[in-house]
């Protein structure tokens, strides 16, 4: 199958074939950890081999192979190696990010009860906790670090409390000026997660003593978290001994499910589209590409099999991409260099690596703001992206975008 025939075959696939899977993906994978886990399972089910950064790859990579690995459980790179690949050939890359604006639990998330309300200490991630978070049904999810009682080893497991467990209440407009303006995120954007009126109960001391004992006593991680949240997390994960929870990375997320909207259902209404939309599309494209290459010649090589096809899904884009799983780390270049070394051996020095980069091409795939018809005056003339008319190419005269000039 030629490249032209492949494009025609792809064009014949109706958007509806991807719509419902994407809606389920968005709704069921609210955190970066769930997203990486989802993609890892997708890739494994399509014959991709999982690699480890801690191993040598020189004896693991093969021409025609399909591979992936993750870093920190929150970033992922997947790639296929053409059957005619040789070191110095190019890499075709789509790079996206899978983190989204959110609010994460503070290291000590327990807060003093106020007026009978149990509240949760959270902090904004990037631009999270803005006004759109008020009066939303919020769930809680992420990953939990568990200690095995027998071996003492620490393992990581995912958790998701996907019922409305938290809400940040607005102040009724009847209160006038106090209900207006930007809310203080530390004092006015604190979610409510339950009721507790033991401060006016004669049984307060007895209840507090019982609460401390079930959480493993002073000095444990769970003693710094809301007791009922610990119980809910433990119950969801089937944990009997609360002190086995040695830490967690949790965040609150909007519970509203992704769905179609508009008179003809031409819209997708969902949170966290930035940038799970491009991430989902990139992985689907890689899977389809790998399938086309294999089926085109009965499992053999295709006409462009001398290259490496790669998708990089990064974390921390919303906060600058500076951590080890971010796009500014060595995550992507180290992957390319290890592939080069696996097939170039001693010849894979700076010269061959530089040749690889020169022969490669990267698409930085992210979402952008579509034009808002109620605010036409804020857009540059002739620069207001419309929906459903094609891909938007983002450019900046001050080079703040990756878009460059072609030679």
Q: 303 pLDDT exceeds 50?
A: no
Q: Once rounded to an integer, what is the mean pLDDT over residues 167-189?
A: 90
What average pLDDT does the structure give for the chain?
A: 89
36-68 pLDDT, tens digit each: 999 999 999 999 999 999 999 999 999 999 999
What is the distance between the alpha carbons of residues 146 and 249, in angstroms, rounded to a whole number?
12
| Model pLDDT, residue 276 | 96
| Model pLDDT, residue 41 | 98
pLDDT band, very low/low/confident/very high, at 300 (cuts 50, 70, 90): very low
Residue 375's Cβ-count burial label (10 Å; 0-12, 13-18, 19+) is exposed
| Model pLDDT, residue 202 | 57
Q: Once rounded to an integer, what is the mean pLDDT over residues 92-115?
A: 95
Per-residue burial over 222-233, b if 16 or more Cβ lie within 10 Å, else e, is: bbbbbbebbbbb
Collapsing DSSP states into helix, strand and coil, what is residue 38? Answer: helix
| Model pLDDT, residue 301 | 42
Q: Which are the contacts of 64, defined by CB distance < 8 A and separation ≥ 6?
A: 81, 82, 83, 301, 305
pLDDT band, very low/low/confident/very high, at 305 (cuts 50, 70, 90): confident
CA-CA-CA-CA torsion for 128, 130, 134, 140, nearest 10 degrees?
A: 10
In which element (H, E) is residue 250 found? strand 245-254
181-235 pLDDT, tens digit each: 888 999 999 999 999 998 887 555 555 554 545 576 778 899 999 999 999 999 9
Q: 130 pLDDT exceeds 70?
A: yes
Q: Once rounded to an integer, what is the mean pLDDT over residues 377-382?
A: 91
| Model pLDDT, residue 406 | 55
């Amino acid at each position: 199958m030629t490249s032209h025939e492949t494009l025609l075959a792809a064009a014949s696939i109706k958007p509806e074939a991807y719509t419902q899977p994407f809606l389920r993906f968005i709704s069921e994978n609210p955190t970066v950890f769930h997203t990486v886990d989802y993609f890892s399972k997708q890739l494994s089910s399509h014959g991709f081999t999982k690699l480890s950064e801690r191993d040598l790859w020189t004896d693991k990579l093969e021409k025609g192979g399909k591979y992936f690995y993750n870093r920190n459980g929150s970033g992922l790179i997947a790639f296929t190696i053409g059957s005619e690949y040789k070191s110095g050939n190019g890499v075709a890359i789509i790079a996206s990010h899978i983190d989204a604006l959110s609010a994460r639990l503070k290291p000590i998330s327990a807060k003093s009860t106020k007026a009978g309300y149990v509240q949760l200490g959270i902090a904004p991630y990037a631009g999270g906790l803005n006004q759109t978070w008020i009066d939303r049904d919020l769930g809680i999810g992420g990953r939990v670090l568990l200690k095995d009682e027998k071996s003492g080893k620490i393992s990581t497991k995912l958790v998701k409390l996907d019922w409305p467990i938290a809400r940040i209440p607005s102040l009724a407009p009847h209160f006038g000026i106090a209900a207006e303006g930007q809310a203080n995120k530390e004092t006015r954007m604190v979610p409510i997660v339950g009721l507790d009126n033991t401060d006016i109960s004669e049984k307060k001391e007895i209840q507090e003593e019982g609460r401390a004992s079930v959480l493993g006593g002073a000095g444990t991680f769970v003693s710094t978290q809301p007791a009922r949240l610990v119980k809910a997390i433990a119950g969801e994960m089937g944990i009997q001994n609360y002190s086995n929870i040695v830490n967690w990375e949790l965040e609150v997320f909007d519970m509203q499910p992704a769905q179609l909207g508009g008179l003809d259902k031409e819209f997708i209404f969902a949170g966290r589209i930035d940038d799970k939309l491009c991430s989902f599309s990139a992985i689907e494209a890689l899977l389809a590409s790998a399938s086309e290459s294999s089926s085109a010649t009965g499992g053999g090589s295709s006409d462009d099999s001398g290259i490496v096809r790669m998708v990089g899904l990064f974390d921390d884009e919303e906060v600058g991409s500076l951590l080890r799983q971010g796009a500014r780390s060595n995550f992507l270049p180290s992957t390319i260099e290890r592939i080069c070394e696996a097939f170039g051996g001693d010849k894979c020095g700076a010269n061959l690596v530089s040749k690889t980069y020169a022969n490669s091409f990267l698409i930085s795939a992210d979402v952008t703001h579509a034009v808002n018809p109620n605010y036409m005056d804020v857009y540059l003339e002739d620069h207001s992206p419309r929906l459903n008319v094609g891909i938007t190419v983002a450019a900046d005269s001050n080079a703040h975008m990756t878009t460059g000039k072609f030679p």
